[in-house]
Amino acid sequence: MATGQLVLDNVDYDERATMRAWESFLADAPKCARDPVHVRSLIHDSWYRSATGGIDAQGIEAPLSSDRDEIEYLTRANAELLSAARRSFASLGPLLEGTGAMLVLADSDGVLIDAIGDKKTLHNGQDIHLGIGGKWNEDAVGTNGIGTALWTGEPIFVHAAEHFCAGIKSWTCAGAPIRDPLDGKIIGVVDLSGYSPIFRPHNTALVAATARQIEKALAEQQQEQRTRLLEAFISSAPSYRRKDGLVIVDHRGRAIFCNNVPNGDTTEMMDGPMEPGRGRWLMNLPASGSDSDLANALPAHLRSCHVTPLKLDGDLRGAALVFPSVPAVSSMTVIRREENKHLRTAAAMIVGESEKLLAAVDVASRVAGSNGVTSLLIEGETGVGKELFARLVHAGSRRTENDPFIAMNCGAITKELFGSELFGHVGGAFTGASREGKPGIFELANGGVLSLDEIGELPLEIQPFLLRVLEERVVHRIGDSRGRPVDVRLVASTNRDLKQEVAAGRFRSDLYYRIGAVSIHVPALRERGDDVLLLVEHFNRRIAKLAGNDPLEFSNDALDALLAYRWPGNVRELKNLVERLHILARGGTIELQDLPGEISAGNRDAIAMHGDHPATMLEAPVCTFEDAERQAIKNALVAESGNLSKVALRLGISRPTLYRKLGQYGIRRGFL
């Protein structure tokens, strides 16, 4: 084999060829995106993300925070992860001395929080800021073992010239993500790094095994905390009855214990549907442990429960939510439930369970139920479903069945007609005005909700008049001196960054602060994880029902490709895709090749390093209920050859529930 060549994971690696590929890529990244250079697809895709993300290819180091307060905050924020890694790091540290290798631990943002290993290598790592406080996600330093493992969610290695930045091409690194055992989210990365001669094919296996050990330690910590919180609840709530519904949440507001809590709309004890499931985020715990702050922190659909703070060693570490089996019913309770029926219906239209999405739904629900908040700003990319949030506010604000919902897209109105459309006009007020005059949308929305989509398109000269109406709640038709009182809740939405528009002088700051007193950011679909699968299921069944057909089946490879795709058109793009598949699919099952090229291409080489294998799936010992459930799912996956529809049918659960279970137990779909 020629000098400079190695066999990396069954791929011939040539240092000079990789450098030439990197140089070609930098010379014409768009062309190389269409006609990939000769490197591993994982590296090529990461190079493209780095280039389009503005990373300096000639960079020599990662960003570094050396501020003591910031480092102390990082240590406190990641105390559980550091504690779980302590045993593994303590045993591996002495073994790395003299090997030229160092082992580092990074948090979910790729910031290093611990480092051990060969002293000389630790010292040399400081030259590129590979030390505590260094930020190594792809957005900061491009392709590298830590950042790329965070991006892919899989154990990977990046060797020498495969790094994107020139200053770190003398290093080799292998990283493996660490997932929270409770909800499956990535909370960190363990990485083995050193100068390129330390590369061995089994480096990736070493960090993957270390990550699994840390996850096991995390699970033990969580089990201990769960037990202590249950004991704290039992000692503080002697009046609790076994038939009452009970949910215990941890310090992050995630459900860690559920008992007698009904699912869906069948329950009489809650204002909204709820299927907590272990690991599901339910609320944000306040900094203080006071009963009033805790009650105020409850989302709207959980307000009917009794909440009790749970303290361990004097600190607030969780809460108990108790749903009485026979709640006291008053006339106000009946009215509230009737109002929330509309809110539940509107919330059900927003499909997803990601933490960011649920937080946005919670804020919108709070605004809807508040008498003091008269406006809401919804920010998010095109296609994320901003109008659904506007309708959610309308549903929760309704006092009568006839309360109007009026929507206007500011980008679809000519500059000359804005004033007339917003405020109305009297007869003959201007050339082209109707003889009888007409009301504007503020008058039409009186008593209800006015949704102004793409408010960033509102002409600058119209903005003072809109501000005046919002402040005075009086509208003047064009050509009329008489004011007309209006009671309107404004929901403004935009795909622009209004703060930047204010800075650029294209949007008035006083109007921005008036409409943005309460704002929510609707996350892009690429930020919502397994919500993609829930939405595929939702649109698939809805479209099939409308057409009178059976829902389509999706292969594992197709589902993995849909999960991996970036969805620039967001939920709207996904809905259009499912509609297209229903029209064009030749059979009842969608395979990888049935998907558009831009989706399928990103998944062809993504099945390189998956975890569990069918041959070893039946060997895990079963010792708890969770172990039994996990093993049952694995057995069903093997029996049904990974067909998720058949697995759900075999287990007697819905596909969305199966998706959640797969994420909860860290079972990857592409292992077969």
- Can you say whether the dihedral through the CA atoms of 308, 311, 315, 319 is positive or negative? negative
Query: What's the Rg (C-alpha) of the chain?
Result: 28
The share of the chain scoring above pLDDT 70, in percent, equals 82
Quick check: 190 pLDDT over 80?
yes
Q: What is the SS3 assignment for 531? A: helix
Using CA atoms, how far residue 388 sits from 277, 343, 493, 531, in Å, is: 25, 11, 11, 16
Beta bridge partners of 519: 377
Residue with tokens 């791929």: 11
Interval 421-448 mean pLDDT: 76
Over residues 19-65, the pLDDT tens digits come to 999 998 888 877 766 666 688 989 999 999 999 889 999 999 999 98
Whole-angstrom distance, CA of residue 204 vs CA of residue 199: 10
Quick check: 205 pLDDT over 60?
yes
Over residues 223-272, the pLDDT tens digits come to 888 888 887 777 666 555 656 678 888 888 888 888 776 543 323 333 33
Specify the pLDDT at position 337.
Answer: 43
- Residue 636 Rama label (left phi>0; alpha psi -120 to 50; beta): alpha
Specify the pLDDT at position 102.
Answer: 96
Q: What's the gap between Cα 591 and its chain centre? A: 26
Specify the pLDDT at position 147.
Answer: 96
Whole-angstrom distance, CA of residue 351 vs CA of residue 485: 37
Of 370 and 123, the one with more pLDDT: 123
Q: What is the value of pTM for the model shown? A: 0.49
Most confident of 142-151, 325-334, 462-471: 142-151
